[in-house]
A = this chain, B = another copy of it.
Amino acid sequence: MTRAEAADMPDDGAPRTPDRLRRRASRLLSQLTVRSDRLINEGLAQAADARKWHYAVLASLQDFGPGSQATLSGRTGIYRSDMVGVLNELAERGFVERAPDPGDRRRNIITISAEGRRHLRRLDKVLDDLHDELLAPLNPAERDQFVQLLTRLLDHHARTS
């Protein structure tokens, strides 16, 4: 033994973390979200040169039709300040069109293009695969449960915010 590192190593090399720390839901959430975000970001970047916000915007356009940037902000939860950049990226790639609203010249009307629709289908597939990886340890019933629980918690804290 070079020296007794002991006490932190459960004899298999990994440093030990106190249970009361490891069991805290807030900590589990934070840590898992870091991994999840990394997985999704890297996956989207590499498989489709995309970011998760692209998906949010395109899906919102596809499912609810064209809208102003402010509307899209509301639908997706992306801040209007950040929406600018996202739409620039999407417009650059030809996935959306940004046109001034003739009826209200403060607004832009954002429309999804045919290419955008195709891209969205691709993103949906990529995300399906990535979520399969994310939720790998859970069986279908448990995945549903997990999503259920998350949804209930989020709903509660969204109303209360």
Give A residues with C-beta under 8 Å from B.
5, 7-8, 15-33, 35-37, 39-40, 52, 55-56, 59-60, 62-65, 67, 71, 74-77, 124, 127, 130-131, 134-138, 142-143, 145-147, 149-158, 161
Contact = CB atoms under 8 A, between A and B. Distances in A.
23 contacts: A7-B67, A8-B64, A15-B75, A17-B60, A18-B64, A19-B63, A20-B124, A21-B56, A21-B76, A23-B147, A23-B151, A26-B36, A26-B37, A30-B36, A30-B37, A31-B77, A32-B154, A33-B33, A134-B157, A135-B153, A137-B153, A138-B149, A149-B149
What's the number of copies of this chain in the assembled complex? 2
Nearest to A63: B18
